[in-house]
Amino acid sequence: MRPDAAAFIRANTTIATPPLIPEIRLHLATEITPIWQASEDALARANVPPPFWAFPWAGGQALARYVLDNPAVVAGRRVLDFGSGSGLVAIAASQMGAAQIVAAEIDDVAAAAIALNAALNGVAVAIETADLIGTAAGRWDVVLVGDMCYEQPLAARLTAWLRALAGMGVTVLLGDPGRSYVPTSGLVAQARYEVATSLELEDRTSRDGIVWRVESE
């Protein structure tokens, strides 16, 4: 984990709750442009990934809400939160009694944010920074994916992997607010939530967050 990341996160965020998830507190940014610029300056390098970890994305909020309202989905099970960002979904699964919870996140600043946010909520979350796409099934009973269909190559790789996991008996749930590259078939709606969003981040004041179960095809 980057030694400078935790200090950067504390200095550039406030502790707040996502609109749909009043139970969970996170280190969040209020506006995107200042923290984006600050992360490039303070973390000092070009090619710093966008600070996705500083926002609770609409798809992740819908999925976290679903987990909190339906604890049986995760209770006693080995759970992966893939593309964890702030750690919101992983924290919800941990609070609802997951037997194991791993947050997978390739951005090491996000990994630091997940650790801070888990501690803030008094839960333990293991963090995996390797890219797990393609990893064989067997390690998880449930895979949770919040708002990951925003980029075509990533969504294509991810969808193929999620379908393969579903075919091997893993429960795969995808929270999505209508992103461009969400699969158009092989999804079964489980729940739908109106999620308040900021105009700056989403160009609209709310999004329809749907929790989908991903089928094998």
Ligand X SMILES: C[S@@+](CC[C@H](N)C(=O)[O-])C[C@H]1O[C@@H](n2cnc3c(N)ncnc32)[C@H](O)[C@@H]1O
- Under rule CB under 6 A, residue 176 binds ligand X: no
Among the residue ranges 34-42, 57-65, 134-142, 205-213, the one whose residues contact ligand X (CB under 6 A): 57-65
Angstrom distance (rounded) from CA 13 to CA 44: 18
Spacing of C-alpha 118 from chain mean position: 13
CB 133, min distance to ligand X, A: 5
**Does residue number 118 form part of the binding site for ligand X (CB under 6 A)?**
no
**Token pair listed for 112:** 């630091």
Lay out the site mask for ligand X across 12-51 (x = CB under 6 A, - = otherwise). Answer: -------------------------------------x--
Is the separation of the CB atoms in 86 and 117 below 8 Å? yes
Nearest Cα neighbor of 63 from 114, 29, 27, 18 is 18
* Residue selected from 52, 140, 161, 212 as contacting ligand X according to rule CB under 6 A: 52
Q: Compute the half-sphere exposure of residue 125: CA atoms within 13 Å on the CB side of its CA.
A: 37
Q: Which residues here bind ligand X, judged by CB under 6 A?
A: 49, 52-53, 56-57, 59-60, 83-86, 88-89, 104-107, 110, 131, 133, 146-148, 150, 154
